[in-house]
Chains A and B, each alone.
Chain A
Amino acid sequence: MKLKLTWLLTLFMAFVMQFSFAQEKTVTGTVTTAMDGLPLPGASVIVKGTSKGQQTDFDGKFTIQVNQGAVLVISYVGMKPAEVTIGAGNTYNVALEDASSLDEVVIVGFGIKETETQKAGSYTTVSATDISSTPVVSIDQALQGRVAGLQVGAISGQPGAFTPVFLRGVSSLTADSNPLYVINGVPVLSGDNAAQAASANPLASLNSSDIESVTVLKDAMSTSIYGARGANGVILITTKSGKADQSRFSLSTEYGYGDVAFEEFDWLNSEEHINLIALGRMNSGLNSNQADAVNFATAFLNWDGVTDTDWRAATRNKNSVTNSVNLNYTGGSENFQIFSSLGYFEQEGVSREAKYSRITGNLNANWTASDRLKVGFSINVSSAEQTGDADASSFRNPVFTGSLLSPTNSIYNADGTYNLDLAYLNPSFNPVAIQNTDVATANFYKVLANLNLDYEIIKNTLSFQSLAGVDMNISDEITFWNPDFGDGVNEGDVNGNGNGFKDNRFRQIWTWQNSLSFNKMFGDVHNITGTLGIDAVADRTNTTSASVQGYTSGRYDLYELENAANPIGASSSHTDATFFGAFVRGSYTYDRRYSVTGSFRRDGSSRFGFENRYGNFWAAGGTWNIAQESFLDSATFVNSLKLRVSYGITGNASVGNHSAKALVGFGTYLNQNAAVIINPGNSALTWETKKNTNLGLDFSLFESRVSGSIDVYKNESEDLLFSAPITPSSGFTSLTKNIGTTENRGVEVQLGLVPVITDNFRWSLNTTFSLNENEVTKITDEANEIAANGTKNYAVGHDPSEFYTRLWAGVNPADGTPLWYTDESRTEVTGIVGDAELSFTGKKALPKHLASISNEFQYKGFNFKFLLNYAGGHSVIDRWAFVYDNDGAFANLNHLASNLYDSWTPDNRDASKPQYLFNSDNNSSSANSTRYIYDADHIRLRSIELGYKLDAELLKNVNWISDAYIYVRGLNLYTWVFDDDLYFDPEVGSNEFGTSLEGAGVYDQSAPNLKQFLFGVNINF
């Protein structure tokens, strides 16, 4: 695919390059900063109205062929662009002025523009450059390490898998804790959108290279305008738009290989597995001599004495290939600009059957229809295919089975057929055979479109904005279990062997926003801005599913449902949620020194009971631009200094669409309708609210060579939407209620430095640091704790992500039996598992500290950069260790080598594992406990890149190329873990439970994360 595309593009370019230019002359010049006269490397010099241009070198110099009368546009990020008309001369020096950072505008949603002066809340913008330097499938993954306080998790290395994101820790318990994603003003589908796939991320449908910027809104001041959906933060994504006076194609291609990022399992080989079983037989007294024990083990595993299969290698790709091609065009004139792109991306996962491929298209157009009316339009379309089998303990999960199968099993029989009589949990689950025959494919189609207009009713004072947008997502998933082995064997079932499942889903979110904006300066010092608007959102989900049984033996190509004999199930459903809000937001600024901002939103949602349908959300904040004060006039090293303070209330409405209603649904009995109560209902259900206080300081010093911000925050979330346990004897185990309170607080630092800047060399670095603490402060009036899944428990005074299990006290040196602490005091130990209380472990799944350093070095055309991420103060648990790190159970499965080499024997009384007793699980030693919890603190080399920019000199013979950049880079190339015993990736999570919080830090035998080596070229022409 990639090769073909490249050739087509080359032909296309060969055609384009047939342009020639007459009457040209060579013009040179130097671009400097107006403030200090220093040369400005990397400034863009473009001949207005053409694609022709270049960037200044490290001396700020440029040399360009132009016609007399042409206009050069010189621009640089953070500077005001300048234009120079070429006259008779040949040398043109240009000094760019700082675009005052205080006038820089950020759009915080609903068309509301906020200047740096007005900024009272907390948000961080990530640029396209930073996004593109982390080569990941979905945009959310690219944000890791770029925004202080944002933790980007991972539940699976399956390309296209959902990425749980925690902004400023976690405050919601049962309700969703993921932020709201808004693309070009349209709230979009996020979360885990899989019906059949192990996990699917709707954001993976976006092409990261189409994204201009991402703004992460963190505090109530910034998010309260989103009212009921703002509590977990809002991530605003803006796609690229065209630039006036340009006409430029950009082509980028990338190719690379991947492998497992971090995995240090030490498994047994065949002989060791035999020895382990023999050890267990001897320890249990079942055999009295070694030879008998070995004979038993050999027969038990049906070992031929030779076979030593590496099942992991057999189920995994040798190299997981990543490949992408993007072509985009940007251009336009003063009144009309477009950006369009086409992209292809594919990435293989670790397992042989795992892959994600995607085609994207994007068109963005802006039209200035009159001096009052601006119209914008954008559409993103994508088609993605994701393949990859189940995760967790499913026998068909190649990660699970590929690890647990004893190496004594052969993949194939002597006659070349698959070995379907394995010594395993079920003899026919040969993972290689299943990978080669079964189907687990999901197709995802997305159309994201919006149309917006901005009409100035009173010039520069009052304008009207309207935006209508729709996010349509279609998914089409199919699963096929072959009729001959594995899950498709339904012996005794009249419907036959082989299963097919199909799920189609249509998910549509549309929004319509209208607002009036006012902006007026009075007497040169009083500035008032205000916005009044309404916002309607409707979210519709349609589902259709079908299942069949009875496939033809041996015909694995005939996997579509039409090939099966018997339809088993068919169903369809739909569900809707609607939101309607009205908001007002205003700010007053005095003399660019003091600014106050307030916002209010009243929201209604279909999800809540009639009496509690509406909620009020608001925020207020103030800003003091200290640098504008006269007493700092003499402190010339201060470029800007600003104090921010804000307080506000936001909401969370993440509950089922019909949780408030008491409902009766229909099952079946005797082929007739059978009605049962399916939802207890709670008509008093209403929003979860979050009160947030944020204090911030922004600074820029020494000609902006030191800049950054510090934020301190405190949140209190009340009336938590909680699937609260109720007495099961009353008919239901849980009821969605508004109960419970959590608090969280933290500090965030974002710091940018330019330690070295010389004529040829520039070193810049950005660091982030955050500290976050979460605490449950109330559960209900009656109870102080509530059990949660994922080995967690919500209790007053504890972090909600704290692991809750038995406290492992190691091995009794006297007899090799397990020991646990009886309770949290850790004063007494017991050998009886029933006497070991479930206790808080002090180990949390969410990191307390996050930090990152990104460095960039530029030397002449060379560019070297890397990003290091650190996460600390957290732990992970292996949910399935009891299967392969126990002390005798599941003897026919492979075990960690430590079970053989470091389990208790009379000669090894200090062993880390209890005595290994054949098929007995030494006194329940593998019961869930802190035995399987590991410290997850780590540093990861998230991305690293070395590139070279081909300058005009080198490219002068290829006059159709304006510039080119070639690079090699890597993702997750190295991981330092602080716990020597940790054998799986510290960045793990599970989606087997209700929420991302419950799944946090749980290793669930999902696909391992990838590390990648990539080579790429970017060409502009």
Chain B
Amino acid sequence: MKINNKLVVFALGTLACLQLQSCDEEFLTTKPSGSIQIQDAIVDEASLEIATLGMYSGMQSATTFGANFFTHHALLTDNGYVSVNNSNRFTDVNNYTHAIVDGGTVSGIWSSLYGTLLDVNNVISFEGTVVDEDAVSGNPDNRFGEAHVVRATILFQLVNWYARPAESGIDPELGVVLPLGVNIGASLPRSSVSDVYNQIILDLETGISLMTDEPGVNRLGPTAAKLLLSRAYLYLEDYPNSRLYAEQVLNNSEGFNLMGQADVIPYYSSEVSPETIFQIEFNSTDNPGSNDAFYATWSLAGTYKQNFATREFYDLMPATDVRKGLYLDNVPASYSDPVVGVDVRKFITPDRDMPHFRMSEAKLNQIESLFYINETLARTELNSWVSTNRDSAYNTNASGSGLLNEILKQRRIELAFEGHRYFDLNRNESDIQKDANCLNNCSLPFSDFRRVFPIPRNEMNTNTSGNFEQNAQY
């Protein structure tokens, strides 16, 4: 029977193949279908552009810039609350039970921001290696400049969530980890708060010097960098510099403009406005979804309608203030909280772009800086801006701390639900007092250790840099 010989040949053949080991090298090499090896990521201007967009893709996370930063600032303070009729979302932040070392909120923000920072540092690590190609619009310097501004934006968030305010004098050495290169798995110590701010300022200045063009409102450009410089100097209580950069923004030649009274309501439903300097882009197919978007918990139109603005916040605005129209006093009786809250009408769709830098903040930074430089001018600017742009009936004669409180009140109203309130209370060393809807931890003096996030447990457990210290009392 012939089959006999064939089988022997076949058997020997396969065994011989084993000896050579060449036939299985190919067999044992498989490639993923949806990714490339890291060293092939940035090779030319086009791939640099793709990597640059990757930084923003990370910033879209609902955990951070995409939604929850706005939510946390409101719930950690007196601007908002979670109803007792809730779906267990954000109850940790609302009750200040987020402030535990193994808390998901605290570690989620840390991991997400540092994850994006890795991509940013990866882009920056290619600085100087990419040649400007005629066929590709723009130039590599603009992209690398952008990366520096993104890095500063992320570091600014990290140092304000996880470290005490720069000028508070509390634990100035306990800043955050400051990785500037790509070294996955490395353990770096906490830099001091001032070192982090120095890096933020350096990155912003580098970004401004490298960038020749505004990259568009969905990306971070030189004007955004200047606004963040103004904000950083405000936090550092360096008022002349804060004023300087605020005024550079206000006097920009890029077409950004302060919005007027008639623009306020449309601003939050439309995405196109000269008011906006930077907003995280979302569209109908790329958004946090109806469960995780900001509006999901804040708007009566959301899937998990449970968060509301406090009555106290709503009552800050006189009827003549156009901003009052951004809140609807129509919360149904089925929400059984002691004090009826108010529905938030900012960002009421899942695909609404989330603004992080806009012109009116520059105005408020300018006014607040002026308070420390020239109180009269500050009052004039305040009266002028509010009465022209927000509330025609507005006029204040306050002075001294009364004027400062008035300036901070206008800042609170203007930037409510946009990621400022908690940091503003922290840097001004103000106590937090919540209203009667609060059930747990309702009064948090500035001295309370929970006024700063703890370093997450997974960082504490893995960081081997030596003497890696936790924030006080955690």
Contacts and interface: CB of A to CB of B under 8 A. Distances in A.
Interface in B157-183: 176-177, 179, 182-183
Interface stretch (B106-114, B248-256, B379-387): B106-114
A728 B111 contact: yes
Nearest to A495: B284
Interface string A605-626: 1100000010000000000000
B37 A661 contact: yes
Interface stretch (A71-79, A184-192, A571-579): A571-579
A735 B186 CA distance: 12
Interface in A487-516: 489-495, 514, 516
Contacts of B3: 373, 455
Interface string A642-676: 00000000000000011001111111111111111
B33 to A, nearest CB: 5
Contacts of A730: 114, 118, 179, 183-188
A580 B185 contact: no
B260 to A, nearest CB: 26
B15 A534 contact: yes
A105 interface: no
B463 A663 contact: no
A680 B33 contact: no
A676 B304 contact: no
Interface in A558-592: 566, 568-569, 573-578, 580, 582
Interface string A417-456: 0000101011100000000000000000000000000010
A787 B53 CA distance: 34
Given A729-B188, A735-B184, A671 B284 contact: no
Interface string A472-496: 0000000000000000011111110
Interface in B339-390: 348-351
A848 to B, nearest CB: 28
Given A657-B32, A924-B97, A731 B349 contact: no
Interface in A520-538: 532, 534, 536, 538
B202 to A, nearest CB: 19
A892 B85 contact: yes
B35 A492 contact: no
A674 B56 contact: yes
Contacts of A87: none
Nearest to A542: B33
Contact of B35 (A457, A576, A665, A735): A665
Contacts of A536: 24, 27
B459 interface: yes
A674 B464 contact: no
Nearest to A541: B33
A671 B286 contact: yes
Interface in B423-474: 439-440, 456-459, 461-464
Interface stretch (B4-12, B138-146, B307-315): B4-12
Given A726-B185, A892-B85, A578 B35 contact: no
A95 to B, nearest CB: 41
Interface residues of B, number: 93
A302 B334 CA distance: 8
B316 interface: no
A890 interface: yes
For chain A, the bracket of interface size reads 35 or more
Contact of B88 (A425, A455, A783, A787): A425
Given A577-B30, A663-B37, A727-B459, A494 B183 contact: no
A665 B34 contact: yes
A141 to B, nearest CB: 33
Contact of A491 (B17, B183, B302): B302
B135 interface: no
Interface in A861-915: 883, 890-892
A681 B439 CA distance: 46
A976 interface: no
A121 interface: no
A729 B185 contact: no
Interface in B14-68: 14-15, 17-18, 24, 27-41, 47, 50-51, 53-54, 56-58, 60
B28 A673 contact: no
Nearest to A425: B87
A148 B461 CA distance: 39
Contacts of B100: 834
Nearest to A453: B7
A725 interface: yes
A334 interface: no
Contacts of B281: 669-670
A572 to B, nearest CB: 8
A727 B54 contact: no
B27 A580 contact: yes
A370 interface: yes
B34 A573 contact: yes
Contact of B463 (A678, A727, A924): A727
Contacts of B459: 727-729
A464 interface: yes
B137 interface: no
B56 A671 contact: no
A733 B33 contact: no
Contacts of B299: 491-492
A604 interface: yes
Given A729-B114, A735-B185, A838-B102, A492 B301 contact: yes
B285 to A, nearest CB: 6
Give the residue among B15, B53, B302 with the most A Cβ atoms within 10 A. B53
Contacts of A681: 38
Contacts of A573: 33-34
A538 B29 CA distance: 11
B106 to A, nearest CB: 11
A412 interface: no
B30 A678 contact: no
Contacts of B53: 669-670, 672-675
Contacts of A729: 110, 114, 176-177, 179, 188, 459, 463
30 contacts: A300-B336, A372-B1, A423-B334, A457-B7, A464-B11, A491-B303, A492-B299, A493-B349, A494-B284, A514-B14, A534-B17, A568-B285, A575-B33, A578-B28, A582-B18, A605-B28, A657-B30, A665-B34, A666-B50, A669-B60, A676-B58, A676-B119, A725-B458, A729-B110, A729-B463, A732-B184, A732-B185, A919-B439, A921-B440, A924-B97
Q: Which 5 A-B pairs have the closest CB atoms?
A: A731-B118, A674-B53, A729-B177, A674-B57, A667-B57
Given A664-B40, A725-B458, A727-B463, 8 more contacts: A299-B336, A534-B15, A568-B285, A604-B28, A669-B56, A729-B114, A731-B184, A787-B457
